[in-house]
């Protein structure tokens, strides 16, 4: 199946375009689902991407509607969390059997399971970057670092997990199989709420001077510890286990770490208005759904 794998990337943002590029270069049959201006641009120019300072173009098949009998070996959903329900409702009647949700999820996997059933294969991307003037500037992790993570809802290593692993290996993309994707995604969402949420205040992008301050770093530390403690009380196993170390780590050490992180290229990319505005919308939705999750699990959220 691997050599002839047919892949649909549902979402033509940074993550979707980056994965499409890698899978096309690996020789797979790749289609991108996009709408409006992105659909037109991809039709006319293909994927425009930066490689070592040079802008290149990669031809890609692109669609803006999906027929129920248009079947793919894997559908990768690469939209933002607040768009996830609408995306999965669009895909629920398609006959493809494997839908890989490359997104955060702070409320647990039950809603997604109700929409697409056992087609669900939860995952999280291991790449980042930005699209500037229509050109993709992707950041891929070193091979030594874990990139994407994925796994079955029931934690078993199935044939489709093995096939997905082979896809990533063929595309030279690092990955890790996780046994508990539900708890991994909730933990990661709590982290994003603390870290990405610190880059905004009253729906406005925080200026770079304020972002690089000790006060901002300490705010991340306080919020992260608060949410990690809360989800543990709700029965979530912190994944990866590094987060258990964070809870025990003195705050001044975490403050120092976050001050360094706030000066990275990653954070600078996050301050680009187009990215920042959409990221803020995602964090607001993640926070809202996490609070609902905590309340459902009898964790007092009044002081959060």
Q: Answer whether 145's CB lies under 8 Å from 174's CB.
A: yes
pLDDT confidence bin for 139, thresholds 50/70/90: confident
86 Cβ contact partners less than 8 Å away, ≥ 6 residues apart: none
Which contiguous run of DSSP H or E holds residue 188?
A: helix 181-195
Q: Decide if pLDDT at 93 tops 80.
A: yes
What mean pLDDT comes out for the span 243-268? Answer: 92
Q: Decide if pLDDT at 24 tops 70.
A: yes
- Is the previous residue joined to 240 through a cis bond, with omega within 30 degrees of 0? yes
Q: Nearest Cα to 291, choosing from 227, 235, 243?
A: 227
Q: Which residue has the tokens 């490689």?
A: 51
Spatial distance between the Cα atoms of 12 and 61, rounded to a whole number of angstroms? 12
- CA distances to 3, 94, 124, 216, 266 from 111, rounded to whole Å, are 33, 18, 17, 34, 31
CATH 3.40.50.720 corresponds to the domain 6-179: yes
How is the chain split into domains, by residue range? 6-179, 183-296
- The pLDDT value recorded for residue 287 is 95
Q: Decide if pLDDT at 129 tops 90.
A: no
Q: Which residue has the tokens 């809360």?
A: 230
| Secondary structure of residue 64 in the 3-state scheme | coil
40-49, 51-60, 136-145, 259-268: range with lowest mean pLDDT: 136-145
Q: Answer whether 220's CB lies under 8 Å from 171's CB.
A: no
Could you tell me which residues are beta bridge partners of residue 65? Answer: none
Which contiguous run of DSSP H or E holds residue 263?
A: none
The dihedrals phi and psi of 228, each to the nearest 5 degrees, come to -65, -40
């Amino acid at each position: 199946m691997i050599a002839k794998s047919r892949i649909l990337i549902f979402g033509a943002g940074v993550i979707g375009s980056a994965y499409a590029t890698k899978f096309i270069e690996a020789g797979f049959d790749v289609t991108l689902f996009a709408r409006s201006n992105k659909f037109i641009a991809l039709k006319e120019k293909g994927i425009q991407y930066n490689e070592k300072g040079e802008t290149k173009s990669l031809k890609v098949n692109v669609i803006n509607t999906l027929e129920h009998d248009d079947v793919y070996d894997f559908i990768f959903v690469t939209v933002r969390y607040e768009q996830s329900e609408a995306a999965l409702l669009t895909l629920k009647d398609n006959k493809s059997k494997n839908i890989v949700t490359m997104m955060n999820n702070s409320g647990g996997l039950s809603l997604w399971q109700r929409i697409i059933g056992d087609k669900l294969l939860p995952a999280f991307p291991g790449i980042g970057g930005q699209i500037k003037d229509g050109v993709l500037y992707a950041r891929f992790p070193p091979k030594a670092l874990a990139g994407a993570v994925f796994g079955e809802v029931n934690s078993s290593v199935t044939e489709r997990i093995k096939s997905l692993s082979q896809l990533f290996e063929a595309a030279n993309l690092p990955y890790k199989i996780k046994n508990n994707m539900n708890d991994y995604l909730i933990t990661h969402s709590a982290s994003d709420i603390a870290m990405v949420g610190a880059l905004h205040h009253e729906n406005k992008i925080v200026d770079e001077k304020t972002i690089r301050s000790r006060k901002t770093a300490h705010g991340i530390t306080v919020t992260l510890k608060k949410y990690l403690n809360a989800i543990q009380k709700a029965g979530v196993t912190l994944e990866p286990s590094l987060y258990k170390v964070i809870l025990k780590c003195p705050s001044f050490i975490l403050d120092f770490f976050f001050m360094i992180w706030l000066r990275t290229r990653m954070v600078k990319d996050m301050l680009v208005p187009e990215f920042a505005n959409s990221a803020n919308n995602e964090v607001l939705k993640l926070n809202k759904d996490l609070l609902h999750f905590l309340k459902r699990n009898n964790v007092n959220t009044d002081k959060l």
